[in-house]
């Protein structure tokens, strides 16, 4: 039930498919070992915390703790919903935007990176992020605001409405 979300979070964090698959497997094994001790409502926040920690451990083993986001984390599973393909100019602009966004996320320091990913990509509520990361709610809001501002500064022309 949680496998795809765990994988996506790990993929955004470690930046490559193989390590994300390893992290996902490790997290699911931990879930299996601890499932009977977890409250049903607390499973997802626990999984996010364990996935984040396992991903950071994988980055530390690799020696690239700040290198977070690789190319399109969902590229191999993303499906098109529109029947009309965008033109080459639109595709080029989108791929350049993705590259810029990946670099900007990669350069964000913790905990800004995790908070932005959990809120903007995983769509977690502020309270869930707070509980997951063990940070006060107001701290999460401030860090999210700062993280977004840092991303806007790094993205430059792409951040303009």
Residue 82 burial by Cβ neighbours in a 10 Å radius (0-12, 13-18, 19+): exposed
User: Which domains are assigned to the chain?
Assistant: 3-71+94-156 (1.10.10.10)
Q: Which two tokens stand for residue 92?
A: 């080029």
Q: What pLDDT does 65 receive? A: 54
First-to-final CA distance of the chain:
36
DSSP state of 86: P
Q: Which two tokens stand for residue 49?
A: 């915390």
Q: What pLDDT does 138 receive? A: 95
Q: What pLDDT does 87 receive? A: 56
Per-residue pLDDT tens digits for 124-152: 899 989 988 889 999 999 999 999 999 88
Provide the whole-model pTM: 0.58
Per-residue tens of pLDDT for the chain, all 161 residues: 888 888 988 887 777 888 889 999 999 999 888 888 888 878 888 888 898 889 888 888 877 654 333 334 444 433 333 333 445 555 555 566 667 777 788 788 888 988 998 898 888 899 989 988 889 999 999 999 999 999 888 887 655 55
Q: What pLDDT does 144 receive? A: 95
Cβ atoms within 10 A of the Cβ of 121, count?
15
Q: Which two tokens stand for residue 85?
A: 């393909």
């Amino acid at each position: 039930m949680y496998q795809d979300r765990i994988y996506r979070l790990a993929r955004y964090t470690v930046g490559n498919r193989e390590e994300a698959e390893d992290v996902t497997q490790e997290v699911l094994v931990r879930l299996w070992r601890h499932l009977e001790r977890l409250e049903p409502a607390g499973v997802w926040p626990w999984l996010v915390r364990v996935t984040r920690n396992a991903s950071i451990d994988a980055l530390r083993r690799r020696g690239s703790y700040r290198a977070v986001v690789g190319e399109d984390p969902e590229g191999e599973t993303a499906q098109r919903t529109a029947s009309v393909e965008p033109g080459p100019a639109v595709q080029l602009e989108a791929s350049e935007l993705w590259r810029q966004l990946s670099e900007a996320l990669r350069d964000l320091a913790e905990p800004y990176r995790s908070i932005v990913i959990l809120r903007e990509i995983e769509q977690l509520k502020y309270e869930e992020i707070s509980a997951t990361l063990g940070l006060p709610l107001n701290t999460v809001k401030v860090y999210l605001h700062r993280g977004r501002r840092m991303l806007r500064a790094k993205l430059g022309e792409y951040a303009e409405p």
